[in-house]
Amino acid sequence: MSPRKDGDTVEAAVAQAFVETRSEDPEAVSAREVARVRLAAGAKLKSLRRLRLFELAGALPARRELEDLFHRSTWFYNPAKERCTVRATGADAAPFSEKEALVLVVDRGLERRAPAERWWRHETGSQVEVREGVVWALGFEPGADAAREAASLAAVTDRAHGLLANPHFQAWSASAGVHPPWPWFTAPKRRAPKGDA
Amino acid sequence: MSGPRVAVVQMPGVNCEAETVRALERAGLAGEIFRWTRAARELADFAAYVLPGGFSYQDRVRAGSLAAKHPLVDALAGRADAGAPVLGICNGAQVLVEAGLVPDGGKVEVALARNRMPGRTGYFTRWVWCRVEETACVFTRGLAPGTLLPLPAAHGEGRFTSGKRGRIGALVEAAQAPLRYATPAGGLAEGFPANPNGAEAAVAGLCNRRGNVLALMPHPERALDLGQVSRGIGGEWGMKRDRALAAGGGAGFGDGPGLALFRGLALHLGVRVA
């Protein structure tokens, strides 16, 4: 990324917003319990969090204005119920711990959010691309091979294996820690069954 | 109610169980709601099974994905392997696909993905035409290939697709698509809204090779009576509806198009249809 000073703003190529519920997330609780009880790879799963990830690409303002724009629009999150962490540069920390394994799940070909892009253009005059996916943050008990177990829990292959993505219409990519890929959407490691179109 | 017992397997969040039981009873079967809290071994007492529509587990993670891991679904897989008929309607279809009971063998080979619709996203509901294809499917038994059934579709994730190129087409070639979206004239639906979700090869329902497990996106249990048939539906079914409604009284409760699939099940189970 090559930031450019422009008055009070910095024109950036990418920004990421991680949105998580303020209260316990029922979807993550259900997924965690099903993984623990039904799937061998989930036996050592200690925690599971679900965050919505918005990734913006285009001419973007500096962090403060970015945060304000995300806060103002219901296309991104509800500040009364959710918290939002913005990464304005790749050096910024994402809201994960170093030990958490991460799985980004994206509906292939349906990740763009046209209404959010229209809202952004209306508010700022700038044309940006907005993509949305889900990041699952997995914490495992000590001694578990977090990367391997997370990969086993990611793509469903049968009733006993996989949960977080159906690879027949979703792409997933794995990462870990506080500095996930930057950008993550535009160059994710796409995974699909052999023979994928 | 007499007749073979059919379990309507209700997971939390399912909301079409009552009308599904009514549909089975209209077809001469003894439908019974079987809640998720019951022991899986009790499923052995039933001749057939229906996973009805709704939002099992609130569609958490992905529609059908959590219910697919439930021990009742393992038991259903065993009963299906033994030849017992299993019908999944809408959310029930999503469960069968996520569980790998459709198309076969327990391996997840297809998906019911988010609808692809021009200029819109999300949930979509509309009466659609479904064309019966020549297959071994239990539920279309007694229906001639080419028969057109108008049925209501109502879903946000109903697009049959596969990450394996050509897989859906191969399943159609293998006679595992007993119902496909069609035009009112009987041609294959080529686009929205006749194909309401962008399903590959206009597939509305996919069954296993043996034909005893069917994952179906439209709702036959919402089309039991002629009076339920949408005003937008013309042709033979539209005329039947208009005649029934003009006759007044209970005529609107004459047999609707959705009943045909439950009658197919009854026929398979040896129920004499009047």
Q: Coil, strand, or helix at residue B156?
A: coil
Q: Give the mean pLDDT of B198-215.
A: 98
- Whether the pLDDT of residue A180 is over 60: the answer is yes
Chain B residues whose beta carbon lies within 8 Å of the beta carbon of residue A195: 163-167
| B175-179, B189-193, B265-269, B270-274: range with lowest mean pLDDT | B270-274
**Cβ proximity of B138 and B214 under 8 Å:** yes
Chain A residues whose beta carbon lies within 8 Å of the beta carbon of residue B69: 34, 38-39, 159, 163
Q: Give the mean pLDDT of A73-93.
A: 96
* Residue bearing the bigger pLDDT, A16 or A9: A16
Q: Across all residues in chain B, what is the average pLDDT?
A: 96
The pLDDT tens digits of the residues spanning B64-111 come to 999 999 999 999 999 999 999 999 999 999 999 999 999 998 999 999
Active site residue B221: yes
The interface residues of chain B toward chain A in range 160-189, judged by CB-CB distance below 8 A, are 161-167
Q: What does the block give as tokens for B223?
A: 């089309």
Q: Give the mean pLDDT of A70-81.
A: 96
Q: What does the block give as tokens for A47?
A: 């925690």
- Binned at pLDDT 50, 70 and 90, residue A197 comes out as very low
* pTM across the whole model: 0.94
Q: Is the peptide bond before A183 cis (omega within 30 degrees of 0)?
A: yes
Give the span between the Cα atoms of B31 and B24, in whole angstroms.
6
The CATH number of the domain covering residues in B5-223+258-268: 3.40.50.880
pLDDT at residue A196 in the model: 42
pLDDT at residue B216 in the model: 98
Q: Coil, strand, or helix at residue B23?
A: helix
| A24-33, A118-127, A185-194, B52-61: range with lowest mean pLDDT | A185-194
pLDDT at residue A195 in the model: 45
* Domain residue spans of chain B: 5-223+258-268, 226-254
CA A34 to chain centre: 21
% of chain A beyond a pLDDT of 70: 88
The pLDDT tens digits of the residues spanning A36-67 come to 999 999 999 999 999 999 999 999 999 999 99
The pLDDT tens digits of the residues spanning A123-159 come to 999 999 999 999 999 999 999 999 999 999 999 999 9
pLDDT at residue B274 in the model: 62
| Nearest beta carbon to residue A159 from set B99, B109, B110 | B99
* Domain residue spans of chain A: 4-176
- Binned at pLDDT 50, 70 and 90, residue B253 comes out as confident
Q: Residue B80: CB partners within 8 Å, gap ≥ 6?
A: B86, B101, B208, B212, B213
- Whether the pLDDT of residue A3 is over 90: the answer is no
Residue with tokens 């790879």: A41
Chain-chain contact of B65 with A30 (C-beta, under 8 angstroms):
no
Chain-chain contact of B60 with A31 (C-beta, under 8 angstroms):
yes
Closest CA to B114 of B172, B198, B205, B202: B198
| Nearest beta carbon to residue A168 from set B106, B110, B166 | B110
Q: Is B32 exposed, middle or buried (0-12, 13-18, 19+ CB in 10 A)?
A: middle
In Å, what is the CA distance from B159 to each residue of A149, B145, B203, B269?
A: 30, 23, 8, 30
ipTM of the complex: 0.94
Chain-chain contact of A34 with B66 (C-beta, under 8 angstroms):
yes
Closest CA to B180 of B154, B213, B146: B146
A49: left (phi over 0), alpha (psi -120 to 50) or beta: beta
Q: Give the mean pLDDT of A85-98.
A: 96
